């Protein structure tokens, strides 16, 4: 560890101790998506291998890291050790197996990987189609009036990033076939024929994660917003994804992450009851905060601290652990 990492770890451990057992006995569950081998100029704030390793060294020195399944057991029995933390990855990106796994293994850390099975082996999520389309587009302006965005400038990366953010928010809550049709139209408007087919894991990489001691969790087949589906469709998505994962790893899959994960918006009480009825042991949302004994194991909160420097990242992690109305306001959470 660098001196800065050691100092930050020491300060955070002391801060957690100062706030007392009520704070240090809460469980932080981190969410990651991609961990790129090198920084992405289009999304410079996303962690790359170097930054991820620095964060994980800090986490390993400060927290007791466990899988979500282990944490759910501890919460149920009231035996959660102080400074417990779970590392989770959503969606099933190939760089999770190629970049993040070797770092986790070097540091002796275990993590939980929630995988949408419909994109394994050469598929691509709709949001990545949007991102890669805007990355590859050779035009300097594009008419996106079809999406209500008017004529958009694409002269530099920050303009492209803004267009991506606006497109993702305008398409996110459309049903799956409409999203696919919108992506097809976007490709035409941007004049992009080829998009990458190697963003997501291959099935053998999922099996390799499992063999490496990592936990595999379900995340539906096609990553729909569950509230846009009929209940039978939601069940097919949730159970179908789990069955595919179980056949890939030849072992039970009993934890789940709601796609997009905002309580009351992306899923509701009927989906919580469904996940429980399907025999899962627990599930995670994307509501910020830290979990504690007595919380609903089918709606455990998760959080992604942000900030380019480790002390700022660690301070946000601490504030999330604190989990008061003041800290939620500071973190920009609703």
Report the interface residues with Zn ion, using CB under 5 A: 90-91
CA distance 231 to 75: 29
- Comparing CB distances to Zn ion, the nearer of 52 and 267 is 267
Which CB atom, from 5 or from 266, has the smaller least distance to Zn ion? 266
Q: How far apart are CB 313 and Zn ion at their closest, in Å?
A: 21
Instruction: Find the shortest distance in angstroms from Cβ 319 to Zn ion.
Output: 24
> CA 37, CA 257: separation in Å to the nearest integer?
25
Helix axis angle, 310-322 to 3-18, nearest 10°: 20
Q: How far apart are CA 206 and CA 302, in angstroms?
A: 22
Whole-number minimum distance, CB 219 to Zn ion, in Å? 6
Q: Which is nearer to Zn ion, 82 or 263 (CB)?
A: 263
- Scanning 84-195, the segments in alpha helix (DSSP H) are 94-95, 101-106, 126-136, 157-171, 176-190
* DSSP codes of every residue in 202-244: PHHHHHHHHHTT-EEEE--SS---GGGS-HHHHHHHHHHHHHH
Least distance (Å) between residue 285 CB and Zn ion: 11
Closest separation between CB of residue 31 and Zn ion, Å? 9
- Cβ proximity to Zn ion: between 90 and 237 the closer is 90
Nearer to Zn ion, 25 or 286 (CB): 286
Taking CB atoms, the residue at the shortest distance from Zn ion is: 90
- Cα separation of 332 and 334, whole Å? 7
């Amino acid at each position: 560890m660098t001196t800065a990492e050691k100092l930050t770890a020491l300060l955070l451990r002391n801060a957690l101790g100062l706030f007392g057992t009520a704070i240090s006995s809460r469980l932080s569950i981190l969410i990651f998506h991609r961990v790129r081998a090198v920084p992405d100029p289009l999304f410079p704030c996303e962690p790359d291998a170097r930054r991820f390793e620095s964060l994980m060294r800090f986490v390993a020195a400060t927290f007791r890291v466990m899988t979500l399944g282990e944490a759910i057991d501890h919460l149920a029995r009231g035996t959660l050790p102080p400074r417990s933390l779970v590392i989770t990855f959503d969606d099933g990106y190939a760089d999770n197996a190629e970049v993040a796994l070797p770092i986790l293994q070097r540091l002796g850390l275990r993590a939980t990987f929630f995988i949408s099975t419909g994109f394994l082996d050469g598929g691509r999520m709709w949001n990545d189609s949007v991102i890669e389309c805007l990355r590859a587009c050779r035009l300097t302006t594009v008419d996106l009036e079809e999406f209500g965005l008017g004529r958009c400038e694409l002269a530099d990366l920050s303009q492209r990033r803004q267009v991506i953010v606006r497109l993702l928010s305008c398409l996110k809550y459309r049903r799956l076939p409409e999203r696919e049709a919108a992506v097809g139209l976007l490709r035409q408007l941007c004049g992009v024929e080829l998009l990458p087919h190697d963003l997501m894991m291959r099935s053998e990489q999922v099996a390799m994660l499992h063999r490496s001691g990592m936990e595999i969790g379900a995340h539906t087949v096609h990553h729909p917003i569950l509230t846009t589906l009929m209940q039978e469709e939601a069940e097919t998505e949730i159970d179908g994804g789990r069955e595919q994962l179980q056949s890939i790893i030849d072992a039970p899959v009993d934890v789940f992450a709601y796609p997009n994960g905002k309580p009351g918006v992306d899923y509701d009480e009927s989906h919580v009851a469904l996940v429980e009825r399907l025999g899962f042991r627990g599930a995670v949302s994307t509501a910020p905060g830290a979990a504690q004994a007595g919380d609903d194991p089918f709606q455990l909160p998760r959080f992604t601290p942000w900030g380019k420097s480790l002390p700022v990242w660690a301070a946000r992690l601490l504030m999330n652990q604190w989990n008061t109305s003041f800290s939620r306001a500071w973190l920009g959470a609703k």
